[in-house]
Structure 1
Amino acid sequence: MKKIYLLSFILLLSFGAYSQIQEPVKWAYAAKKTGNNEAVIFVKATIDKGWHIYSQNIAEGGPTKTELKFAASEDISLLGKPSEPRPIKKFEKYFGVNVAYFEKQVIFQQKIKLNKNNPVVKGTITFLACSNKECLPPEDIEFTVAVK
């Protein structure tokens, strides 16, 4: 009987721990050729209501900025830095600086030169998701996009 109670208790704890996991940001990736040897990589964040992620351009002392890193490859060359739309800007008392962030949705874009036909582009996104109540730990998401 003790084993049944113990097993039930462990199961309840595991269900409780699972329900605590929050994923307020969903990521999607795409690529579009814009010429014979150029393309654009699109990295889209869909952000749950009440949450936001920060811009790539954050002042020192502020929160963790969103950062797109592309794996080195002979198949492509990066053309400039990733671009982003105009963010929402405001002063955040917690960080003591003006911050720029996105709510609902944001699409980052990276122009690339194709050094090979049909390359596969790999990279990592680092971001911080916050609500008006809490911030989750910074997260790294790996991605892969085929350019066809």
Structure 2
Amino acid sequence: MIGRLPLVLLAMSVGALAQDVNPVRWSFSDHDVKAAPGVPLTVHVTAEIEPGWHLYGMKKIEDGPIPTTLVLDQGQAFEAAGPIHASPPVSTEDPNYGIKVDYYIGRAHFDLPLRAVNGHKPGLDVLKVTARYQMCNDHVCLTPRKMTITLPVEIQGTH
């Protein structure tokens, strides 16, 4: 039993390190955003992907990887105002799944149409968007993750 202990500890250490790996940085590319209640606007989300990794596209594929989703958090001053538009992904055979998939290399852009909810009081508020995604390289896939990003938005009064 004592002879196996170093191997067990090594396996646990590698598993813990893999959980800390996050080869994508999510951000809004907008600044000084102003929103009038009920009036549509588009905010832009960017995913910066580290070399050697890829982020799966938004299309769900049967028996494939977890698709990327971007969702407005509930209970805030904003609501979706249409479908999300994304930069075109690469479409190719994935060695991890053995099927054709869509994914992004290097950088991905997402345009989120939204609007401030009617009746919301004027002033500074915070838009919260949660990305759910899966990252892989040519040898390993990380467990799916969620990351919430925020953007200050000035909600203007009605005239």
TM beyond 0.5: yes
**C-alpha distance in structure 1 between counterparts of 2:28 and 2:76, whole Å:** 21
For structure 1, the 5+ residue unaligned runs are 1-12
The question of whether the paired residues in 1 share the 8 Å contact of 2:135 and 2:141 is answered with: yes
Q: Report how far residue 41 of structure 1 moved.
A: 2.1
Aligned-partner Cα distance in 2 for 1:73–1:138: 24
For residues 146 and 50 of structure 2, the distance between their equivalents in structure 1, rounded to whole angstroms, comes to 18
What is the match of residue 126 of structure 2?
A: 120
Q: Show the counterpart of 2:138.
A: 132
Greater than 6 Å deviation, 4+ residue runs? 16-19
CA deviation after TM superposition for structure 1 residue 119, in Å: 3.4
SS of residue in 2 equivalent to 1:126: strand
Q: How many residues align?
A: 134
Q: CA RMSD in A?
A: 2.5
Counterpart position of 1:25: 24
Normalised by the size of structure 1, how large is the TM-score?
0.76
C-alpha contact (below 8 Å) 2:47/2:108 kept by paired residues: yes
Bigger proportion of residues as strand: 1
Partner of 1:7: none
Q: Judge conservation of contact 2:56–2:65 (CA < 8 Å) in 1.
A: yes
1:22 is matched by which residue type in structure 2? Answer: V
Shift of 1:144: 1.7
Aligned with 1:147: secondary structure? strand
Corresponding residue to 2:104 among 94, 102, 105: 102
- Once residues 133 and 97 of structure 1 are traced to their aligned partners in structure 2, the CA distance between those partners, rounded to angstroms, is 15
Deviation at 1:75, TM superposition (A): 2.0
